[in-house]
Structure 1
């Protein structure tokens, strides 16, 4: 019998289909940041609307430049000590060929870099919701730059970079449960513990000023999240991206229903804010787990996250920390829930053959998930608190109490979100018509 001939595996070649798919996914993820701005912007009072929009929007500018200069190199360059990456070819994205492929995949490095850039942009923007009404815009911009450098870029390497300790340990994070949501939620908690509460917290009404804007933002987030999640498989050749796509829809739907059911039982009403928040909770929880669980598992992930996140948002009143727009309750709690449930619900038939406890895999994966979850949580919490403390002690983190009460939009941006004067297009500083002018107008009308 002739000896068997072993053929070397063919090297990947550039796939126009996967490249186009990933560029579309990148655009969808970019849309999530303006969607987040609308979601947060509708949840604050009128006097803080523009500031809330700008706190998300500025991340598009700052993080993009840092990513090109050194962020991509730190996150996805050659590993150093399982903690950080660095590759000189990635500095300034200057040493990359047009058709040079991301290692092991059929898409160019440029495409992978821009897709991951959109993750890096939205993660610090998520933090902003916890700090509504009270942070100087210059201090926030500096915080975004420092946080991306000190926290996000290294954590992205831990979780997704070849050689990163969590990656090598086998922690499963399909699209950002640890690197994005736990990271941002823990950071939010760290910062608010430093800067303190809003003026009037637990005393003054601080209801959302525009629930339609909240629903619009939630819809854009839901839409963009399909790119965020399904695109994270970096291709469309084996069905895993399709599994993630359907699980994204299923878990989000389950979380909406679960949040509303809890809200009706607990508070007696089905609210639009609850529906929007439930949707985001489901999206957060399925982000790490959607490639590992079945659609039935996705229902469980979404339902559990919907209830637990709804319960968690009330903790700020009991524990006394002012998480303005529930970043801790939704993103931190939702990210932890989704990440840990992998250890129970992973089927072994999705992104890998790793099975969770309910599918005969024991608790081995659960303990790995715990290591990733609590390491990222602790590092982000401490590092973010330190950064906020240093900024507060140098340039100051908060606006003055007078500016906060009067309205941070006018104080920091010299604008207001809505012009109720009826004239339209006028300056934010235009005075009301004088009494003589009003009398002259009245006489003209009478004539």
Structure 2
């Protein structure tokens, strides 16, 4: 393919990549504020270390495993020729048709891998060894993330022309690749690590709600790069994704707060921040394939269901510390499945291919029948099972070799001081 640089699209994609990278420090504030004083630095370090580890792994081998030519049963690409990402022709870029250089596209995709790994850390707060977390990060991004991303986005078994589904499955910006993937992995690690000391008997209240609100704000800001940037062009489809990223979280806040008010009698700032994230998660896979009404429906359902889902850990006895399962797995499933109900590909989106008749991919409520819903469900189920099982195996291997969990003494006295030799606040002991 002949490559013709589009400076406007390229400039937008550089900005979008920076926005998505900013989401990981934003997540550090969001998660950091939700834990207790004695764990905040460890929690934030898990996010920052994800940048450190995944950025290196991505340029060395991760990109090639994700976007290299399909060669391993539709699960991984062939990394040959992509090691180090040096001297790559722009014509090889998946965004070459939009005039975006190869390296810009590769950097943008790196930020997705980084945030996916960081999301998992919320399920292991207060009790996982930092060295084990680093080791897990390296293995997981190579074995699990690159596989799911290749299968869905890189021309693998679950992608646009999947033989496993009646129609082409839709995941515009990462409902399966990022959120369902991270949520299932978080559940596996939470089960392996077991309950925190005092779980279900004493409150684990957020130590700093302004941190949580700031983190949610940064995440929302960065998410415009996440969703609108996934178009790889500054066009009307990016505009649709941008608008939906405004609308869905806004109404998700409302849904979450209504549940809180009815259930608990109070509408909380933690609920508002969590509602933002739930709406952002749910609209991610559908950002460019639903109209405004569809985005509002997805956001409202996500806000309500995620608010209800965060209590499941107490009912079923698993300790998902910061509700990665309740928000990211459930929210990702809501958005992915509701595409099968409210997708409106007749609106004029371009990403499915110029001139292609996309109406058979419309959701059930837009005249498309059940095929798209079935396709979305198949892909979601496969990703949940694959991510959960493989993560469980990785975690079990680490548990038997280097150990996963800090000692009870460290957990009680504070993981920050034991693992990092410092505390977040002068008065913290």
The TM-score bracket by the shorter chain reads over 0.9
Greater C-alpha radius of gyration? 1
1:436 aligned residue: none
User: Where does residue 120 of structure 1 map in the other structure?
Assistant: 113
Match in the other structure for 1:369: 376
1:225 partnered with 2:223 = yes
CA deviation map 1:91-146 (0-9, x unaligned): 11024146864443310110110000000001010000010000000000000001
Secondary structure of 2:418's counterpart equals: helix
Query: Is 2:262 the counterpart of 1:270?
Result: no
Distance in 2 (alpha carbons) for counterparts of 1:48 and 1:341: 37
Q: Aligned pair 1:392/2:385, yes or no? A: no
1:334 pairs with 2:293: no
Report the alpha carbon displacement of residue 377 of structure 1 after superposing the two structures with TM: 0.4
In structure 1, the partner of 2:408 is: 401
Task: Specify whether residues 82 and 105 from structure 1 end up closer, same or farther in structure 2 by C-alpha distance, changes over 3 A only.
Answer: farther
The one of 166, 179, 182 aligned to 2:180: 182
Is the CA contact 2:46–2:118 (under 8 Å) kept in the aligned structure 1? yes
Alignment of 1:28 onto 2:19: yes
In structure 1, how many angstroms separate the alpha carbons of the residues matched to 2:317 and 2:113? 30
State which of 232, 235, 238 in structure 2 corresponds to 1:234. 232
Partners of 2:91 and 2:298 lie apart in 1 by 39
Structure 2 length-normalised TM: 0.94
| Structure 2 counterpart of 1:320 | 317
- Does residue 170 of structure 2 align to residue 172 of structure 1? yes
Aligned residue in 2 for 1:90: 82
Identify the match of residue 43 of structure 1 among 26, 34, 37.
34
Superposition map of 1:209-220 within 5 A: 209-220=207-218
Paired residues in the alignment total 412
Give secondary structure in 2 for the equivalent of 1:89: coil
SS at match of 1:88: coil
Query: Match for residue 243 of structure 2?
Result: 246
Distance in 1 (CA, whole Å) between partners of 2:79 and 2:101 is 17
Preserved CA contact (<8 Å) 1:14 1:99: no
The CA distance in 2 between the partners of 1:87 and 1:190, in whole Å, is 28
Q: Distance in 2 between matches of 1:346 and 1:155?
A: 23
Offset, 1:194: 1.1
Structure 1 residues 155 and 100 mapped into 2: Cα distance closer, same or farther (>3 Å)? closer
Distance in 2, Cα, partners of 1:199 & 1:249: 39
Q: CA deviation at 1:12?
A: 5.1
SS at match of 1:410: helix
Q: Does 1:346 align with 2:310?
A: no
Q: Output the CA distance in 2 between the equivalents of 1:123 and 1:163.
A: 19
Q: Residue by residue, what CA displacement relative to the aligned partner does 1:5-49 show, whole Å, maximum 9, x if unpaired?
A: xxxxx9551101111100000000000000000000000000000
**Aligned position for 1:54:** 45
Distance 2:221 2:81 in 1: 34
Match of 2:367 among 346, 354, 360: 360
SS at match of 1:420: coil
Q: Look up the SS of the partner of 2:203 in the other structure.
A: coil
Q: Which residue of the partner structure matches residue 441 of structure 1? A: none
| Aligned pair partner of 1:78 in 64, 69, 72 | 69
Equivalent residue for 1:418, pick from 414, 422, 425: 425
Cα distance 1:100–1:190, how it changes in 2: closer, same or farther (>3 A)?
A: closer
1:145 maps to 138
What's the CA shift for 1:371? 1.1
SS of structure 2 residue aligned to 1:166: coil
Does the CA contact (< 8 Å) of 1:89 and 1:95 recur in 2?
no
Structure 2: distance between partners of 1:273 and 1:135 = 24
Which residues of structure 2 form unaligned runs of 5+?
A: 163-167, 353-357
SS of aligned partner of 2:172: coil
Question: C-alpha displacement at 1:86, in angstroms?
Answer: 1.4
> Cα RMSD (Å) of the superposition?
1.4
Q: Residues 285 and 235 (structure 1 numbering): CA distance in 2 closer, same or farther, change over 3 Å?
A: same
Q: Which moved more, 1:301-310 or 1:99-108?
A: 99-108
The residue number in structure 1 matching 2:151 is: 158
